[in-house]
Structure 1
Amino acid sequence: MFCPFCGVQLGDAPKFCPSCGQNVGFLTERQPTDEPSEDDLIRAYFRKDHSNEVFRDFLETKHGIVMSLKTLKRRLKRLNLSRRANYTPLETVNAAITTELNGSGQLLGYRAMWQTLRQKHSLTVRRDNVMQALRLLNPTGVSLRHRRRFVRRSYCAAGPNQVWHVDGYDKLKPFGIAISGCIDGYSRRIMWLSSGSTNNDPAVIAHHYLQCVSSCGLPARLRTDCGTENGDMAAIHCSLREDHTNEFAGSLSHMYGTSTANQRIESWWSFFRKQRTQFWMDLFSDLRERHYFNGTHEPKCLVRYVFLGIFQKELDEHRELWNNHTIRPVRQSLCPSGKPETMYHLPHRFGGRDCGFPVDPQVLQEFKDLLPPTNSLCGDANLQAYFTNLERQSQLVPPINWPAAVDNYIRLKEMAGL
Structure 2
Amino acid sequence: MPNQNKPLPPLDEIAPHILRFWKARLTDKAIVKELQKVIDTDRYGIGITKLKEIRSDMGLKRAWQQGHSVETIHDVMVDLRRIYPNAGSREMISLLFHERDMAVPRRIMKSYFATYEPDLVRQRKARRLRRKRFWAAGVNDLFAVDQHDKWLRFGLALHTGIEPFSGRIMWMCVWHSNRNPQLILSYYLDTLTELGHMPLVTQSDLGTENFGIANAHTLLRQWHDPALQGTLQHRWMRTKKNVMPEITWSQLRRRFTPGFENLLDTGYGFRWVFIPWLQTELDAYKDCVNNTAKRRDRNKVLPHGIPDIIYNSPEDFGALDFKIGIAPGAIEHIRRVMINSSHTVFDLVPPTLGHHLASCYTHLGCPVITRDSVWAVYLNMLNAIQLSDDLPTEIMSATESVTDDDELPLLDNHEDLPFQDDDSGFYYMGGVRGGRGLDVSHHAQLDTLLADDKPDVRHAASDAVSDDDFNGVIVWEFTDDEVDNDGDEW
Which interval holds the TM-score relative to the shorter structure? 0.5 to 0.7
Counterparts of 1:68-147 in structure 2, within 5 Å, are none
User: Please, which runs of 5 or more residues in structure 1 have no aligned partner?
Assistant: 1-149, 288-292, 294-299
CA RMSD of aligned residues (A): 2.5
Q: TM-score, normalised by structure 1?
A: 0.56
Per the TM alignment, residue 234 of structure 1 is displaced from its structure 2 partner at its CA by: 0.9
- Contact 1:218-1:358 within 8 A present in 2 as well: yes
The equivalent of 1:402 in structure 2 is: 371
Percent sequence identity over matched residues?
27
Larger Rg: 1
Distance 1:174 1:250, change over 3 A: farther
> Residues 179-238 of structure 1: CA distance to partner in whole angstroms, max 9, x if unpaired?
211010100101111222211111111111111112221110111111111111110100
- Contact 2:369-2:377 within 8 A present in 1 as well: no
The equivalent of 1:309 in structure 2 is: 276
Q: Which letter maps to 1:210? A: L
Per the TM alignment, residue 248 of structure 1 is displaced from its structure 2 partner at its CA by: 7.7
Per the TM alignment, residue 395 of structure 1 is displaced from its structure 2 partner at its CA by: 2.3
- Contact 1:304-1:377 within 8 A present in 2 as well: no
332, 346, 357: which is aligned to 1:387? 357
Per the TM alignment, residue 273 of structure 1 is displaced from its structure 2 partner at its CA by: 1.8
The equivalent of 1:116 in structure 2 is: none
Aligned length: 255
Query: Aligned partners of 2:141, 2:228: CA distance in 1, in Å?
Result: 10
Per the TM alignment, residue 351 of structure 1 is displaced from its structure 2 partner at its CA by: 2.0
1:411 partnered with 2:376: no
Per the TM alignment, residue 396 of structure 1 is displaced from its structure 2 partner at its CA by: 4.6
1:269 partnered with 2:237: no
> Residues 360-393 of structure 1: CA distance to partner in whole angstroms, max 9, x if unpaired?
130111112221115455333343234234434x
- Contact 1:156-1:334 within 8 A present in 2 as well: no
- Contact 1:202-1:232 within 8 A present in 2 as well: yes
Distance 1:275 1:151, change over 3 A: closer
The equivalent of 2:234 in structure 1 is: 254
Distance 1:151 1:165, change over 3 A: closer
1:333 partnered with 2:300: yes
Distance 1:185 1:349, change over 3 A: same
- Contact 2:173-2:279 within 8 A present in 1 as well: yes
Distance 1:249 1:266, change over 3 A: farther
Question: What SS does structure 2 have at the residue aligned with 1:385?
Answer: helix
> Residues 243-301 of structure 1: CA distance to partner in whole angstroms, max 9, x if unpaired?
566998763320112241111011111111222122221111122xxxxx3xxxxxx5x
340, 345, 349: which is aligned to 1:372? 340
Comparing 322-331 and 397-406, the one that deviates more: 397-406
Distance 1:283 1:251, change over 3 A: farther
Q: TM-score, normalised by structure 2?
A: 0.48
Per the TM alignment, residue 398 of structure 1 is displaced from its structure 2 partner at its CA by: 3.7
328, 350, 354: which is aligned to 2:321? 354
Q: Which letter maps to 2:212? A: D
Question: What SS does structure 2 have at the residue aligned with 1:242?
Answer: helix
Q: Which letter maps to 1:161? A: N
Query: Aligned partners of 1:308, 1:185: CA distance in 2, in Å?
Result: 27
User: Please, which runs of 5 or more residues in structure 2 have no aligned partner?
Assistant: 1-128, 387-436, 439-490
Distance 1:385 1:353, change over 3 A: same
> Residues 312-360 of structure 1: CA distance to partner in whole angstroms, max 9, x if unpaired?
1111111111111011232222211111011111111222111121111
Query: Aligned partners of 1:272, 1:311: CA distance in 2, in Å?
Result: 13
The structure showing larger relative contact order (alpha-carbon pairs under 8 Å, at least 6 residues apart) is 2
Query: Aligned partners of 2:143, 2:266: CA distance in 1, in Å?
Result: 36
